[in-house]
Structure formats: structure tokens, C-alpha cells
Amino acid sequence: MILIDGKKIALELREELKRKIVELKSKYNAIPGLTVILVGEDPPSKIYVKNKEKFAKEVGINSEVIRYPANLEEKVLLDKIKELNNNEKVSGILVQLPLPKHIDKRKVIETIDYKKDVDGFHPTNVGNLSSGYDSSIPCTPLGCSLLLKKVEKNLSGKHAVVIGRSNLNGKPMTQMLLKENCTVTITHSKTEDLKTECLRADIIIAAVGIPELVKGDWVKKGAVVIDVGINKTEKGVVGDVAFEEVSKVAGALTPVPGGVGPMTIACLLKNTVDCFKKLRK
Ligand code: NAP
């Protein structure tokens, strides 16, 4: 069984981005800029934002974090986004979710210039991805697909089962797999026999949020299993896949932690660099 080392692959990606940014600097006399907006005091969001800033700086991105109190007026946020849209030093804008309830998330996402939408949530990017066109892709599924390609060079014709249909993970993942010519089954909480669906899969992407849902006897011998789940339990952080059992049958598997997680921020940095390049074209 191949243990897919997300930590190592994310580090390699960050090293590659570092080199690219040096090249971009000498070509354009400018570097990619990422602005992250954090509204309120949500503890996990504060940690995510801190890590995003740290890794962005490390690869040479001009990183800025704007912090607002939880009672921020929606208009102030929308005006700030419009200002950033027009700031040519900013190549990527990310508004950390979740937002306080009085702020309309959809309005916020739609106000971000889709060319600077490093999260890939803007409807134009969602539409472009589902039409098979070039687009910003949400960071976690992008990370999953990079991990997948490390162990499956040719995805064409493979049967992939995606567990979960969120806009953040399951749906964009499905679109990416379709683009690679996989046959995709997308499953969710109303799927009748998830075990049988999984047993047919050459590739399983589990993005559910239920600790160790995918058992060893749900997995076909040799299948590639990508575990997106991050679940806090009494025994620590576990994924959506029962690691010990599944590692005995899978051909390749991501651990939790150390699998998909590290790829998410690395892909945010990749999206920032890609937005910078596209904005200059
Ligand atoms: P979400 O928005 O809560 O979506 C969960 C999906 O799972 C829904 O589509 C839901 O179906 C489906 N589901 C729920 N119970 C199910 C069941 N028994 N069988 C099959 N499907 C079921 O979650 P998310 O934001 O996509 O996140 C999923 C997991 O990934 C979480 O553990 C989260 O912490 C983790 N995550 C990790 C990263 C990372 O960087 N590694 C990033 C983001 C999220 P319905 O649509 O029918 O409700």
C-alpha cells in the first residue's frame, strides 16, 4: 500500500511556487499578492488565517490580512472588496468563512472579482469548472486531485466514487474527475447503499465529516482512497476513512493528519500565483 504523503507533496509544491515567484518577479518586476479578510473571532478561522499568512510569506507572496470585528457592517466589507478588486498589487482575495450571520455570504463571494477568486467559489469560476473551461478551483479538491495524480497518472476510464456533495469539496471534485475522463458516482446522505457504491470504485474521495465512515470491507482491493475528513474525536483527529482497516486493502491511501490537509493551503498559494499570471496576460 502506498501511503500518500501530503506533507511532503505540499512542501514540494511550495518549493516549486517559490521558484516560480522568483521568475515572475524578474519578468514583471512584481510579485503575487494575497489579501485575506477575517471577520470576527472564530478560533479555527483565526488559526487557518495565521497559517495562510505564514505559508504565503514563506513562498514569497506579498501577504496581507485584514481583520474586522464580528459586528462589521456588510457594506464596509463589500466596499473593501471592491477596493481590493481595483488594486493591481492584489492578485488574490480570500474572505475567510464562516462569516457572521448578518453578512450575506453569497453577496460577498459574488463581489470578489472572479479573476482574483483564489477560493474558486465565485459563480463564474464554478460555471467555468463545470463547463470544463479554465477556472480557479477550490483549494481542497485541487489538492486531492494533485495527490491522486501522484499515484494514478492516467485517470481516464477509472470509476470514482465521491462521498459528499458540498460546494466546497464534493461537487468541484466531481467536476475535476469528469474532466479527467473518470466515470463518477457522487453520493450523499440520501444514498441508499453507500457500501455497494464504494465497492465498485477504483478511486474513493471521502468528504463527509463522519469519523471513520468508510470501512475496510467497503473498499475494492487496490483502490486509491483520498480522505478529506477532519474529525475531532476522543482518540484525536481522524478522517472519514477507517485508516487501519482500509490500509490493508487499498492500493494507496492518504493519512489524516498529513494527507489532504497540508495540500489545501499549498493550493491556495498555487491559485494566487495562477491568478497573478492570468491577470497579467
Ligand atoms: P459538508 O458541507 O458538511 O458536506 C458533507 C457531505 O457529506 C454532504 O453532501 C452530506 O450529504 C454528505 N453526507 C453526510 N452524511 C452522509 C452519509 N452518511 N453518507 C454519505 N454522505 C453523507 O462538509 P464539507 O465541508 O464538504 O467537509 C467534509 C469533511 O471534510 C469535514 O470533515 C471537513 O472538516 C473536512 N474538510 C477538510 C478540509 C481539508 O483541508 N482537509 C477542507 C475542508 C473540509 P447531504 O448533501 O445529503 O447533506
Describe the crossing of helices 6-28 and 43-59 by its angle, rounded to 10 degrees: 50
194 CB less than 6 Å from ligand 1? Answer: yes
* Start-to-end CA span in the chain (Å): 43
Is the peptide bond prior to 255 cis by the omega test (within 30 degrees of 0)? no
Residue 14 corresponds to which amino acid? R
Q: How far apart are CA 158 and CA 181, in angstroms?
A: 8
Q: How far apart are CA 94 and CA 109, in angstroms?
A: 9
Residue 188 CA: nearest ligand 1 atom is: 21
- Show the cell assigned to 240: 472519514
Cβ pair 241, 212 in contact under 8 A:
yes
Cβ pair 241, 225 in contact under 8 A:
yes
Which of 20, 80, 117, 119 is the catalytic position? Answer: 119
Q: How far apart are CA 143 and CA 121, in angstroms?
A: 15
For the chain, list the domains and their CATH numbers.
Answer: 29-114 (3.40.50.10860), 139-261 (3.40.50.720)
- The predicted pLDDT at position 73 comes to 98
56 CB less than 6 Å from ligand 1? Answer: no
- The predicted pLDDT at position 281 comes to 83
Describe the crossing of helices 170-179 and 139-151 by its angle, rounded to 10 degrees: 40
- The predicted pLDDT at position 39 comes to 98
Q: Which residue in this structure is represented by grid cell 465497492?
A: 199
Residue 49 corresponds to which amino acid? V
- The predicted pLDDT at position 209 comes to 98
Cβ pair 96, 112 in contact under 8 A:
no
Q: How far apart are CA 143 and CA 150, in angstroms?
A: 11
pLDDT along the chain (281 residues), means of 10: 98 98 97 98 96 97 98 98 98 98 98 98 98 96 98 97 98 97 98 98 98 98 98 96 98 98 97 97 83
The DSSP annotation for 126-151 comes to HHHHHTT------HHHHHHHHHHHHH
190 CB less than 6 Å from ligand 1? Answer: yes
- Show the cell assigned to 214: 468508510
- The predicted pLDDT at position 48 comes to 95
| Residue with CA at minimum distance from ligand 1 atom 18 | 189
250: which residues sit within 8 A by CB, 6+ positions away? 1, 219, 222, 223, 224, 225
140 CB less than 6 Å from ligand 1? Answer: yes
119 among known catalytic residues: yes
What b/e sequence results for 2-29 when a residue is b if at least 16 CB atoms lie within 10 Å of its CB, and e otherwise?
A: eebbbeebbeebbeebeebbeebeeeee
- The predicted pLDDT at position 2 comes to 98
The pTM of the whole model exceeds 0.75: yes
- The predicted pLDDT at position 213 comes to 98
